[in-house]
Amino acid sequence: MSVVLAVVLIVGTLISYIPQYVSIFKSKSSEGLSFLMMGLGLASSLLTLLNTVMFYWEKLTCCSTLNFYQCLANNLVPEQLSISPICLIVLYLFFLYYFDKKKQTLRDYVISLAFFAISMIVPIIFATAALLMYFGRLVSPTKLIEFARLVGLLSAILVFVQWAPQVITTLRLGKAGALSLPMLLIQCPGSFLVVGFQLTAPLSEWTTWSPSLVSGLAQALLIILILFFKLRTKCYKSRTPEEDFLVPKFED
């Protein structure tokens, strides 16, 4: 059952990003997407993966004595969590390729590119530190677990901060823009499914599933905002000229 659920979550994660890719490709613009949101999300997902790998290290190293299926079944959580950073890297590359240079400056593009690099470098630094501590035996196993929890906690904080720029961007635009509602509708329940899956998995650790919980709550908020803006636009368009006349107009 766990294997089936893990496969469903992996496939669901891949499918959830397709509407966003299609939306950008069709419009030839990444307007409405926040580079801060994507960069923080990328860094967070990579840190969550590092957190999981550290807790599952013993199981991962056992793969040399297992067959392929046993290895996959033994490491479902890290496998499931490895998909999100891959999808986010592709999304950020789409964002940079279809960057709207007419509405935004070269400086904005350089900042977005630099933030992408930082989002990759920071998790690599943490991963390097973890490898040095483990193979160099610089700290005790207890301290290594504390470091893994610190990485997971940092990931949860980044997720919390991650969605703030996107919420602000959506509020300023008053519409979804290039942000895909179908993607959010798939990812939101998916985030809560991930939490449930990780809670029931062996070696369940709250610092591993807490980023998914925060992400699900933020996605739910964005869905509510987008649906509100769509409803408001629909109501405005359906108003008759007589109703427009009755709406008081104020001078600045």
Reported confidence tier of residue 124, pLDDT bands at 50, 70, 90:
very high
Residue count (the chain): 252
Please give the backbone phi and psi of residue 138, each rounded to the nearest 5 degrees, phi first.
Answer: -80, -25
Report which residue type is found at 2: S
Instruction: Kindly indicate the confidence band of residue 154, based on its pLDDT and cuts at 50, 70 and 90.
Output: very high
Burial of residue 27, with CB atoms counted within 10 A of its CB: 0-12 exposed, 13-18 middle, 19 or more buried? middle
| Mean pLDDT of all residues in 39-43 | 91
Render pLDDT for 196-250 as a digit per residue (tens, 0 to 9): 888 887 777 888 888 889 889 999 999 999 999 988 888 877 655 554 544 444 4
> What does DSSP assign to residue 247?
S
Record the tokens describing residue 129, joined without a space: 């530190």
Residues 56 and 76: their CA atoms lie apart, in Å, by 10
**pLDDT (0 to 100) of residue 241:** 56
Task: Report the pLDDT averaged over residues 182-201.
Answer: 86
Where does the pLDDT of residue 178 fall: very low under 50, low under 70, confident under 90, or very high at 90 and above? confident
Other C-beta atoms closer than 10 Å to the C-beta of 78 total 21
Nearest by Cα to 159 from 44, 31, 15: 44
Quick: pLDDT tens for 50-100: 999 998 888 888 888 888 888 888 888 888 889 999 999 999 999 999 887
Task: Say if residues 185 and 240 touch (Cβ distance below 8 Å).
Answer: no
- Residues near 245 by beta carbon (within 8 Å), at least 6 away in sequence: none
> Encoding tokens for residue 162?
């991650």
Local confidence band at 121 (pLDDT 50, 70, 90 cut-offs): very high
Of residues 208, 216, 195, the one with CA closest to residue 155: 208
* Residue boundaries of the structural domains of the chain: 2-246
